[in-house]
Amino acid sequence: MTARAAIDDPERFRASRDIGPWVGLTPKRNQSGESDIVGAITRAGDVGLRTALYQAAKVMLEKGAKNWLSAWALRVAQRRGKKRATVALARRIGVVLHRMCDDTQFRFTKETAMPAASA
């Protein structure tokens, strides 16, 4: 309900991946000349939605049922650390919720999603 209220009109985003920067779950970038510094998350946008997405990601990683999304986040955690993986999973959950806001049916496993994607 928090995501639906915060996003309001899903049509205002060109793509679902635009949710991450809007909520503030993407890293700051400071580029000048040859330097490229990637910093902490921007924390822009709706605080309530960002908090809800982060909490959902934490629960999904620690206590949730295993699925392709949590498996992806665990692989990110092995490479980059658990906190970064949690933020990355929160951003990805936001993308999935945006796709669900326009009444598209979400397929929880990749096996059920693959036939629909190739059709």
Give the total number of structural domains in the chain. 1
Mind listing the pLDDT tens digit for each residue in 37-56?
Answer: 888 888 888 889 999 999 99
Show Cβ contacts of residue 107 under 8 Å, excluding neighbours closer than 6 positions. Answer: 113, 116
Within a domain: residue 98? Answer: yes
Q: Which domain holds residue 49?
A: 2-114
Within a domain: residue 51? Answer: yes
Within a domain: residue 96? Answer: yes
Within a domain: residue 119? Answer: no
Mind listing the pLDDT tens digit for each residue in 49-83?
Answer: 999 999 999 999 999 888 888 999 999 999 999 99
Within a domain: residue 63? Answer: yes
DSSP-assigned states of every residue in 40-83? EE---S-HHHHHHHHHHHHHHHHTSPP-HHHHHHHHHHHHH-HH
Within a domain: residue 76? Answer: yes
Band (pLDDT 50/70/90 cuts) for residue 103 is low
Residue 29's pLDDT is 83
pTM of the full structure: 0.75
Within a domain: residue 27? Answer: yes
Return the bridge partners of 41, or none. Answer: 27
